[in-house]
Amino acid sequence: MGPRHAGPGVPLQVLAEHCGGQLVGNGGIVISAMAALNDAAPGDIAFLANRRYRGQLATTRASAVIVAPDDAGLTALPKLVTENPYAAYAKAAALLYPPVLAVPGINASASVSATAQVAASATIGAFVVVGERTRIGERAWIHAGCVIGDDCELGDDVVLYPRVVVYADTRIGTRSIVHAGVVLGADGFGMAEEHGRWLKVPQVGGVVIGTDVEIGANTTIDRGALGNTVLEDNVKLDNQIQIGHNCRIGAHTAIAGQAGVAGSTRIGRNCKIGGAAMIIGHIEIADGTVISGGTSVFDTIREPGVYTSVFPTLPHREWKHVASVVRRLRRLAERVLTLERTIKHLGE
Amino acid sequence: MGPRHAGPGVPLQVLAEHCGGQLVGNGGIVISAMAALNDAAPGDIAFLANRRYRGQLATTRASAVIVAPDDAGLTALPKLVTENPYAAYAKAAALLYPPVLAVPGINASASVSATAQVAASATIGAFVVVGERTRIGERAWIHAGCVIGDDCELGDDVVLYPRVVVYADTRIGTRSIVHAGVVLGADGFGMAEEHGRWLKVPQVGGVVIGTDVEIGANTTIDRGALGNTVLEDNVKLDNQIQIGHNCRIGAHTAIAGQAGVAGSTRIGRNCKIGGAAMIIGHIEIADGTVISGGTSVFDTIREPGVYTSVFPTLPHREWKHVASVVRRLRRLAERVLTLERTIKHLGE
Amino acid sequence: MGPRHAGPGVPLQVLAEHCGGQLVGNGGIVISAMAALNDAAPGDIAFLANRRYRGQLATTRASAVIVAPDDAGLTALPKLVTENPYAAYAKAAALLYPPVLAVPGINASASVSATAQVAASATIGAFVVVGERTRIGERAWIHAGCVIGDDCELGDDVVLYPRVVVYADTRIGTRSIVHAGVVLGADGFGMAEEHGRWLKVPQVGGVVIGTDVEIGANTTIDRGALGNTVLEDNVKLDNQIQIGHNCRIGAHTAIAGQAGVAGSTRIGRNCKIGGAAMIIGHIEIADGTVISGGTSVFDTIREPGVYTSVFPTLPHREWKHVASVVRRLRRLAERVLTLERTIKHLGE
């Protein structure tokens, strides 16, 4: 399970070619690590993606920087100039910090079903369980303690970090990454009320996860009741998110930590959902919608845009007064109406 | 770990007897799977539980349907007519999708204490740990990677999905189901402040879970500080719920995903708590109370009813205006009062 | 994995010396357990920390009590009198319920790297994995199923309950306790948008946890993007908390269940953050700040104090009226302004 330690270093010229930026200055200097502007040391490359930190360009000890064209004039350091410094940072970091390489093979302690098909280039860690008829693709890396049920399909280059549980009938696309403690395919929350008791509704659908998806630690994605729960390609989920049964999350949508999506809701493509947002079941969210952190969404959103619902934070004493007015807000509105009528009458 | 695949099929007549509905039409046709009205294929039975989808009765390709008496006239298909189509669906699905059967016995890799008592008909999966003096009932199924502490009691037909952790002194009643990643009996959040530092308060109580309970993936239920944390019979918890120490959740209460209940709170019977609801500690919630999703509850609720506290979602630009008025709401109320006095004076 | 059962009992005199209170009455009586005032039986010691329960002093069956000076006159029972009864309770419980002792050694089933250094007095449970070059201190107890990555350092007396995952490059200080299901050091939620797709930003920082920290079940703490995520000494985190990459949580700060802190936020020392609170990224919270449960914090807080943002809970029918006024609040404010102008005009 890999930390990513800096590799032997890369000439700035090579970084520029890899990241697609324009090289300004000496391309022969060797860059050995990535750092924030105010933490950088000689040998590091830093980046400016948030203009709030522009002042740090003058004082950084980095050997080179990644900047946008508008900021290029602010520093005499060797630099990569690019319209998207944050994306260039992502690419540079991937080059400077090579991924830890797995040693292919099945750990002797793992319990792999005789009917499972595991690619020879895949790595299966200690104490992993792989169920009947499950297929695991080339170079996939299943870290220690994962439990994968029957009839699953994990694509090439999939990574499951330690202790992921994959219930039966789950499919995970190529290059997707699943962090520790995630549970994929547990039963959705389905039950029928009869005479004041709950009857369990068997959850007989599955989970289908696209390619290039990343799922954060301890997130849970329930299997469908009938039919599948679906994450399309390049969906990015942070930690401790809950996705209910039969949801569909559109491609390139990112959801921040502790958000929840109740059953059968469909979220469009390229949406951004803030942390701790709560989205009710059986609604639809349009492509490109942005939901602020902490916001509760109770109705379908047809128009993309930014949506928010959280109450402003106040010092508690002040909040108590405000909350007390909120409670009586209907009465306040009625009083204003009465005033308007009275004045109209007085004015006549 | 079982997906539930459709079995060999069941004559509609048999389904009717099993589900308790009235059979209308040819009871001899064989039903092989359950499906939603708009997804169904020949051989499937579909159901109408939400009248919003009534239009789909005319176009479904299902071979039979489950409907309420009021909707029975809308289709000529063979059907089961029942006052509670959703409960009939639950029962039909349980018949059509037989549970995966466990193979009794203790996996050779499991680590079971010599003083534990495991019923011969129970199934203990790979890499399971069972502590001292713990008892596991008939036909219980402990999936791979579970860790069960000392002095626990798991009733007959209990199912623990993979990687459940059960701390010492936990009791789980008959037929209860616990999904992957759940933690039962971790220490409650108890500490005493002394000279600006926190001292840990030992948590010496336990957890007691009734019969026919279901607990969703990655939910956590803390042990009592003194005395027990209790879930009564037929409580249904969704994923990622947090139940604090010494809470008591009444029978037949259902709580949706990511809700939290702080310590020592008592929730009544037959309550319904929405997703991401937050209930403070040391309060009581009356039997039959419904709490809307996202709602924060800070006071005891004595009268059953539906309770809500979330702010309506708005486009962000509009929300900013509203939030700014909310912040100054106390002043607004004062201005209305001033107006009322002025007008009274003017009118005199 | 230890429940804490009461030990053989302790004379009240010894408890008094251990807890630092003033003994009043017979110090020779043997106390064998701790209990709540209304649950206590003979042989138990109870405590009064919340004055709401003062009435129970008259009826408790406890053999002794822990009380504050102001309440000492309310009972004739043998007692410990102290300014901080809750802290005395914590200390008394620690004495009455001795911790379960681990048996040092490495379980035969564990998979410990040849390059790891495990103290001889440490306990490594079944199916534990310890990575390359990782060091584990004296008397540390790593329970069953934990997975610890490469290059980690766990201090003396650290306890990891079952199924904790520690990614590579994580440091945990002396005496810190980590509950089941916790994930330390998973990748932070970092990605760059390019042409409508997300690129992963490698997360190459680590996690540094101080001494005397406690982390609740299924909590997740992400590794830094560049640099570390830090929990200072004596931080107390409840269950299911999410701490984003590069956060710093100050010493002696306590955070209740299901709260979340987004990336790069710095929380001061001795703060108290309520359950389900949500704190946005890139802000600072002053030392000694208190955030109410359920509150969303979107801006830096420079002045310590109590802060709140949750909407008051109402019966749903009433809430609907209030919510509808809230939605039109900007208009209401404008109407009040119009009224004020009209009246001013009328008054002239």
Percent of chain A with pLDDT over 70: 98
pLDDT of residue C346: 79
Cα separation, B90 vs A55, whole angstroms: 63
Q: Positive or negative, the Cα torsion across C322, C327, C330, C334? A: negative
Residue A204 · residue A190 · CB < 8 Å: no
Residue closest to A271 by CA, chosen among A256, A289, A294: A289
- Which one from B18, B245, B321, B345 is the annotated catalytic residue? B245
The contacts found for B320-324 with CB under 8 angstroms, 24 or more apart, are: B320/A308, B321/C330, B322/C326, B322/C327, B322/C329, B322/C330, B323/A311, B323/A312
Which residues contact residue B36 at a Cβ distance below 8 angstroms, ignoring those fewer than 6 apart?
A226, A227, B46
Taking 60 as the threshold, does the pLDDT of residue C38 lie above it? yes
Catalogue the long-range contacts made by C58-62 (C-beta closer than 8 Å, 24 or more residues apart).
C62/C35, C62/C37
Q: Which helix (H) or strand (E) holds A344?
A: helix A329-347
Q: For C121-142, how does the pLDDT look when each residue is reduced to its tens digit (9 = 90+)?
A: 999 999 999 999 999 999 999 9
Q: How far is CA A339 from the centre of its chain?
A: 51
Tell me the chain A residues in contact with residue C201 when contact means C-beta distances shorter than 8 Å.
86, 89-90, 93
C129 neighbourhood in chain A, CB within 8 Å: 125-127, 144-145, 162
The three-state secondary structure class of A23 is: strand
Nearest CA in chain C to A255: C189
Q: Please state the CATH superfamily assignment of the domain spanning residues B105-307 in this structure.
A: Hexapeptide repeat proteins (2.160.10.10)
CA distance A338 to chain C (A): 11
Q: What is the pLDDT of residue A1?
A: 42
The pLDDT tens digits for C137-168 are: 999 999 999 999 999 999 999 999 999 999 99
Write out pLDDT tens, residues C261-302.
Answer: 999 999 999 999 999 999 999 999 999 999 999 999 999 999
Residue in chain B closest to A331 (alpha carbons) equals: B333
Question: How confident is the model over A75-82, as a mean pLDDT?
Answer: 96
Q: What number is the average pLDDT over the span A143-147?
A: 98
With a CB-CB cutoff of 8 Å, which residues 163-182 of chain C face chain A? 163, 165, 167-169, 181
Q: Which residues lie below 8 Å from residue C338, measured CB to CB, with a gap of 6+? A: none
Sorting pLDDT into bands at 50, 70 and 90, what band is C205?
A: very high
Mean pLDDT computed over every residue of chain C: 95
Which residue from A272, A298, A308, A303 is spatially nearest to A286, judged by alpha carbons?
A303
Secondary structure (H, E, C), chain B: CCCCCCCCCEEHHHHHHHHCCEEECCCCCEECEECCCCCCCCCEEEECCCHHHHHHHHCCCCCEEEECHHHHHHCCCCEEECCCHHHHHHHHHHHHCCCCCCCCEECCCCEECCCCEECCCCEECCCCEECCCCEECCCCEECCCCEECCCCEECCCCEECCCCEECCCEEECCCCEECCCCEEEECCCCEEEECCEEEECCCCCCEEECCCCEECCCCEEECCCCCCEEECCCCEECCCCEECCCCEECCCCEECCCCEECCCCEECCCCEECCCCEECCCCEECCCCEECCCCEECCCECCCCEEECCCCCEEHHHHHHHHHHHHCHHHHHHHHHHHHHHHHHHHC
For residue C263, give Cα distances in angstroms to B123, B325, C198: 43, 30, 18
Quick: pLDDT tens for C76-109.
Answer: 999 999 999 999 999 999 999 988 889 999 999 9
Residue C54 is which amino acid? Answer: R
The CATH code belonging to domain C10-96 is 3.40.1390.10
C-beta atoms surrounding A132 within 10 Å: 14
**Nearest-angstrom CA–CA distance, C88 and C296:** 34
Q: Which of C143, C179, C245, C252 is catalytic?
A: C245
Are residues A347 and C343, on separate chains, in Cβ contact within 8 Å?
no
A285: tokens are 């969210």
Question: A272, A290 in Cβ contact below 8 A?
Answer: yes
Please tell me the distance from the alpha carbon of residue C282 to that of residue B291, in angstroms, as a whole number: 33
Using the beta-carbon criterion (under 8 Å), do C239 and B292 form an inter-chain contact?
Answer: no
Identity of the residue in A218, A314, A326 whose CB atom sits nearest the CB atom of C220: A218
Return the closest-CA partner of residue B300 out of B279, B285, B281, B278: B285
Whole-number pLDDT of residue C230: 98
Chain B residues in contact with C336 by the CB 8 A cut-off are: 332, 335-336, 339
pLDDT (tens place) for every residue of chain B, 348 residues total = 444 678 889 999 999 999 988 999 999 999 999 999 999 999 999 999 888 889 999 999 999 999 999 999 999 999 999 999 999 999 999 999 988 889 999 999 999 999 999 999 999 999 999 999 999 999 999 999 999 999 999 999 999 999 999 999 999 999 999 999 999 999 999 999 999 999 999 999 999 999 999 999 999 999 999 999 999 999 999 999 999 999 999 999 999 999 999 999 999 999 999 999 999 999 999 999 999 999 999 999 999 999 999 888 999 999 999 999 999 999 999 999 999 998 888 766
Query: How large is the average pLDDT for residues A194-198?
Result: 95
CA distance A70 to chain C (A): 19
Strands B22-24 and B79-81: antiparallel
Q: What does residue B186 show for φ and ψ, rounded to 5 degrees?
A: -65, 165
What is the pLDDT, as a whole number, of residue B192? Answer: 96
Q: Mind listing the pLDDT tens digit for each residue in C229-259? A: 999 999 999 999 999 999 999 999 999 999 9
Q: Which of A87, A258, A347 sits opposite C192 (nearest CB)?
A: A87
A with B: how many residue pairs have Cβ under 8 Å apart? Answer: 243
Cβ contact (<8 Å) for C323 and B346? no
Polymer length in residues for chain A: 348
Give the pairing of strands B296-297 and A79-81. Answer: unpaired
Chain C: partners with 3+ C-beta pairs within 8 Å: A, B
**For residues A286-296, average pLDDT:** 97
Maximum Cα–Cα distance across chain A = 94
A186/A170 Cα distance (integer angstroms): 10
DSSP secondary structure code for residue A264 in this structure? T
CA dihedral sign of residues A263, A264, A265, A267: positive
User: Reduced to 3 states, what is the DSSP secondary structure of residue C300?
Assistant: coil
Mapping DSSP to helix (H, G, I), strand (E, B) and coil, where does residue A71 land? helix
Half-sphere exposure of residue A3: CA atoms within 13 angstroms, side-chain side: 30
Beta-ladder partners of C288: none
- Residue C158 CA: distances (Å) to CA of B191, C93, C140, C185: 18, 21, 5, 17
B345 CB contacts (<8 Å, ≥6 apart)? none
Domain boundaries, chain A: 10-96, 105-307, 316-347
Structure tokens at C280: 């946005």
Is residue A15 within a helix (H) or strand (E), and if so which, with residue range? Answer: helix A12-19
CA-based angle B95:B16:B61, to the nearest 5? 80
Touching C: A residues 315-334, CB under 8 Å: 315-317, 319-320, 323, 326-327, 329-330, 332-333
pLDDT of residue B2: 45
CA distance A214 to C273: 29
H/E element, C267: strand C266-267
What sign does the dihedral C11-C14-C16-C22 (CA atoms) show? positive
Q: Is C347 exposed, middle or buried (0-12, 13-18, 19+ CB in 10 A)?
A: exposed
Distance CA A158, CA C200 (A): 14
C158-199 tens-digit pLDDT: 999 999 999 999 999 999 999 999 999 999 999 999 999 999
The dihedral formed by the CA atoms of B312, B314, B316 and B320, expressed in degrees to the nearest 10: -60
Residue B4's pLDDT is: 66
User: Can you tell me the distance from the alpha carbon of B304 to that of C201, in angstroms, rounded to the nearest whole number?
Assistant: 50
The conformation of residue C180, written as its DSSP 8-state character, comes to T
Residues of C with Cβ-Cβ distance to A36 under 8 angstroms: 226-227
B206 close contact with C: CB closer than 8 A: yes
pLDDT of residue A4: 66
Q: Which amino acid is at C71?
A: D
Interface contact A86-C192, CB threshold 8 A: yes
Angle at B180 between CA B256 and CA A123, to 5 degrees: 135
Paired with A243 in beta bridges are A221, A261
Instruction: Show the tokens assigned to C345.
Output: 């005009």
Sheet with C254-255, side-by-side order of all strands: A314-315, C306-308, C290-291, C272-273, C254-255, C236-237, C214-215, C177-178, C159-160, C141-142, C123-124, C105-106
- pLDDT the model gives residue A125: 98
Minimal Cα distance from A341: which residue of B? B343
Q: Which two tokens stand for residue C124?
A: 């490594």
E-strand stretches of A212-316? 214-215, 220-222, 229-231, 236-237, 242-243, 248-249, 254-255, 260-261, 266-267, 272-273, 278-279, 284-285, 290-291, 296-297, 306-308, 314-315
The secondary structure of residue A109, as a DSSP letter, is T
DSSP result, C62-91? -SEEEE-GGGGGG--S-EEE-S-HHHHHHH
Phi, psi angles (nearest 5°) of residue C19: -95, -15
Contact A128, A146 (CB under 8 A): yes
